[in-house]
Structure 1
Amino acid sequence: MDRAIVHMDLDSFFVSCERRNNSQLNGIPIIIGGGDRGVVASCSYEARYYGVRSAMPIKAAMRLCPDARIIRGDMDLYSKMSHEVTEIIEEKVPLLEKASIDEFYLDLSGMDRFFGCYQWTQELASRVMDHTGLPISFALSNNKTVSKIGTGEAKPVGHMEIKDTMIRPFLNPLSVRKIPMVGEVTYQLLSRVGIRTIHTLSEMPAEVLQKILGKNGIDLWRKANGIDENPVVPYTERKSISSEHTFEKDSINIIEIKSLITGMAEKLAHKLRKEKWLTSTVSVKIRYANFDTEIKQCRVSYTSADHTISKYALELFDKLYTRRMRIRLVGLKLTGLVHGEYQMNIFEDTQEMMNLYQSMDKIKNRFGKHAVGRASGFDFNTKPL
């Protein structure tokens, strides 16, 4: 059976949510971000015309587009709107994968026996826009890579069908940047050896690409040739992520306990960023020596930043620990998770803070989670927590 894979993407999602609530923002350059030292989380097409891009420092963006209006991000609003769209699509689609807060893959294989997949998806896109007021684009092809590239070419508020016979003619003239797995470093590496279009990439011997790019070379060659057998993975939401520590001997050492909490926060935050989650609720649990257990939690702005999570966790501990008894167990739990590509609290953190986290994550991913961390989260007698 031939596969029918759709990629749907909400256009300028953060900006569209803001414009839905305030029509006066229509038609003007918008930058979603926080503070003069923050970074661009999203921007409107009017701002992109001047060269503004996501992850660009706000100051640099304002030099390019001084008339842009800066709006502080509202992740609660964006999460709510994302759930609304998800419910509409999930109700109609036999197999749905939510790739991020604003991206979806649909497997419609076999539905052509009853009605055309392309027309059916057009009707679904119209339903999303009618019910939410948010613009959405999509592309239909036989695999995830081609449909995702197609959506990028169809934007804004566009749609495209790329049949099997049209895949190579569609891909060939495009820049290799259009392939989802090609970042700036990979592009520069390919560009230095004269590979700038997908057509050139597709004609390179796969073995040569493997020598240049390592294990990713073969996968990149396959995608350049329109080959992608990755399945649409059913959509699920992770409910929580947690960590607990039971003391060998009941403790009343507050410095040690707070150090443990800080270490837990750092470990869980790194896991959030690695798996691309944001949390909205922080909970702290303590179990006293007599086995009485108490839990306190608080709502926070969506984040996956160590310093934000540890700050709230330590505040909760101070409010929770009132008996002055020895503690048997301490735990930290993060709930209210949102799955997305936004690995940090991009509305609060500065460019310097983002660079620091990205560098720390690279070290941890390469050398292990204990390779680097805050001094406050270390047990210097043994190893990092």
Structure 2
Amino acid sequence: MLLDGQRTIAHIDMDCFFVSVECLKDGSLKGKPVLVGGRGDRAVVAACSYEARTFGIHSAMPMKMALRLCPHAIIRGGDMEEYSNFSRHVTDIIAGNAPLYEKSSIDEFYLDISGMDKYFGSLKWASELRQKIMRETKLPISLGLASNKMVSKVATNEAKPSGQLSIPFGQEKIFLAPMPIDKIPMVGKETAAQLRRRGVETVKTLSEIPIGLLEAWLGKNGISLWNKANGIDETPVIPFHEQKSISTESTFSTDTIDMDFIHSELVRMTEKIAFELRQQNRLAGCVTVKIRYSDFETVTKQMSIAYTASDHVLLEKVKELFSKLYDRRLLIRLIGVRFSHMVSGNYQISLFEDTHEMISLYQAIDSIKSQYGWQLLMRGSSSGGRFEEQLQPYQKKETFTMKRRYPK
């Protein structure tokens, strides 16, 4: 019987998503240690198969180290466009069946199916949806079912690979109790180490610590951990269609056809909202460019892209859209850039050709912008250089301009 306030949340996760897609493209990869990522000495592992994990390999590990651990591993360079297409296919299947769903990343979803027991049976319905996704995409899918998002995600992780697990209402705390503390989502290495130094090894022990003491140890994070250890999570499933886009527009004081100026503005605007994407730990799957001419006619053009939050990728798409859109050769009054179809995700791991140096560069730039404002550090082209030069952002000729906040 469904109690007042009781929820039923399903968590769906595509197992080893990038690797699974590569195995669909090349069946000979199945059952072998596969690494997805760049091939250079400074490249990182974006994803790895379960077979590779047995050698101690994990995502974000330097590729050079991964190959030392498993010299016979097979490397695939990665195809973000193909992964994005599979992600959208799964999204379409879920959207056509689920009453309320949240796309929390490129390869995982939360579904609020509260009340389904009255009609179909929640587990039966979720199981059939999982089978439908696997049948239509050929991808391995794992499923967790529980009364909240956190427990359903843990259940999914326990069901992997390609399994399902349902935690009955009221059994959340019992289910979590014997697990090591780092099984709880968002418990990183530092937090786990800090707790273990205090003798906290299992979720059961963590759940028994007074909440005030945990708060004294870990601040507000301690309160959150206590709730999670006790199987409590009130976080709602956020409807995917309500995910907001990020956009910016620039209305010129004087209508213009100065392409150097307009291109510089596009760089500045793109750089600004790409930084916002990364601050929110999101990836965009669609880019839109807007032009308003001097006669007030407004035109827009958009394109779906491989999920990303990287300046140099987004800039290329913005330039391409603007070039296709600007066909009247009239004076321009306004331009705008919008990123949409957003999902949660870490932009660094999706950069398959990135070196540690490039990742470090992004981190350093974002750190400076976070402290002093996004305007403080910009590429040289956004302060007046030619746009074509901007589209080769991390080659030797790339320059960044540090703006002074105060007069000399």
Q: TM-score if structure 2 supplies the norm length?
A: 0.81
Number of residue pairs matched by the alignment: 383
Report the equivalent of 1:267: 272
Report the equivalent of 1:84: 89
Out of 229, 234, 237, the position equivalent to 1:224 is 229
* Aligned sequence identity (%): 49
Question: Shift of the alpha carbon at 1:116?
Answer: 3.1
CA distance in 2 between counterparts of 1:117 and 1:316 reads: 44
Closer, same or farther in 2 for the Cα pair 1:358/1:12, shift >3 Å? same
Question: Shift of the alpha carbon at 1:226?
Answer: 0.6
Moved more, 142-151 or 232-241: 232-241
* Aligned pairs (5 A) from 1:64-213: 64-213=69-218
Report the equivalent of 2:11: 7
CA distance in 1 between counterparts of 2:303 and 2:88 reads: 22
Moved more, 174-183 or 193-202: 193-202
Closer, same or farther in 2 for the Cα pair 1:116/1:75, shift >3 Å? same
CA distance in 2 between counterparts of 1:367 and 1:210 reads: 30
| Consecutive unaligned residues in structure 2, runs of 5 or more | 385-401
Report the equivalent of 1:348: 353
SS in 2 for 1:31: strand
Closer, same or farther in 2 for the Cα pair 1:157/1:200, shift >3 Å? same
Per-residue deviation, residues 335-381 of structure 1 (Å, max 9, x unmatched): 6x452414244223222212222343345445544454445445988
Query: Does the Cα contact within 8 Å between 1:38 and 1:346 map onto a contact in 2?
Result: no
Per-residue deviation, residues 5-33 of structure 1 (Å, max 9, x unmatched): 22111111111112123211111111111
Query: Does the Cα contact within 8 Å between 2:376 and 2:404 map onto a contact in 1?
Result: no
Per-residue deviation, residues 152-209 of structure 1 (Å, max 9, x unmatched): 1111011112224432232122122111122233223333333332122212221222
Query: Does the Cα contact within 8 Å between 1:244 and 1:332 map onto a contact in 2?
Result: yes
Report the equivalent of 1:16: 20
CA distance in 2 between counterparts of 1:107 and 1:327 reads: 46
Question: Shift of the alpha carbon at 1:306?
Answer: 1.5
Q: Which letter maps to 1:353? A: M
Moved more, 278-287 or 257-266: 278-287
Query: Does the Cα contact within 8 Å between 1:90 and 1:96 map onto a contact in 2?
Result: yes
Query: Does the Cα contact within 8 Å between 2:245 and 2:342 map onto a contact in 1?
Result: no
Question: Shift of the alpha carbon at 1:323?
Answer: 9.6
Q: Which letter maps to 2:84? A: S
Question: Shift of the alpha carbon at 1:149?
Answer: 0.8
Report the equivalent of 2:343: 339
Closer, same or farther in 2 for the Cα pair 1:180/1:294, shift >3 Å? same
Q: Which letter maps to 1:70? A: I
CA distance in 1 between counterparts of 2:94 and 2:323 reads: 44
Out of 53, 59, 63, the position equivalent to 2:64 is 59
| Consecutive unaligned residues in structure 1, runs of 5 or more | none
Question: Shift of the alpha carbon at 1:294?
Answer: 7.4
Closer, same or farther in 2 for the Cα pair 1:205/1:372, shift >3 Å? farther
Question: Shift of the alpha carbon at 1:244?
Answer: 2.0
Q: Which letter maps to 1:264? A: M
SS in 1 for 2:36: strand
Closer, same or farther in 2 for the Cα pair 1:245/1:163, shift >3 Å? same
**CA RMSD for the aligned pairs?**
3.3
Closer, same or farther in 2 for the Cα pair 1:90/1:276, shift >3 Å? same
Question: Shift of the alpha carbon at 1:241?
Answer: 3.8
Query: Does the Cα contact within 8 Å between 1:237 and 1:339 map onto a contact in 2?
Result: no
Closer, same or farther in 2 for the Cα pair 1:34/1:299, shift >3 Å? farther
Query: Does the Cα contact within 8 Å between 2:103 and 2:110 map onto a contact in 1?
Result: yes
Moved more, 168-177 or 307-316: 307-316
Q: Which letter maps to 1:19? A: C
Query: Does the Cα contact within 8 Å between 2:45 and 2:62 map onto a contact in 1?
Result: yes
Moved more, 303-312 or 130-139: 303-312
Q: Which letter maps to 2:133? A: V
Moved more, 297-306 or 7-16: 297-306
Query: Does the Cα contact within 8 Å between 1:96 and 1:107 map onto a contact in 2?
Result: yes
* Aligned pairs (5 A) from 1:228-247: 228-236=233-241, 241-247=246-252
CA distance in 2 between counterparts of 1:298 and 1:232 reads: 27
CA distance in 1 between counterparts of 2:57 and 2:263 reads: 42
Q: Which letter maps to 2:35? A: I
Closer, same or farther in 2 for the Cα pair 1:52/1:381, shift >3 Å? closer
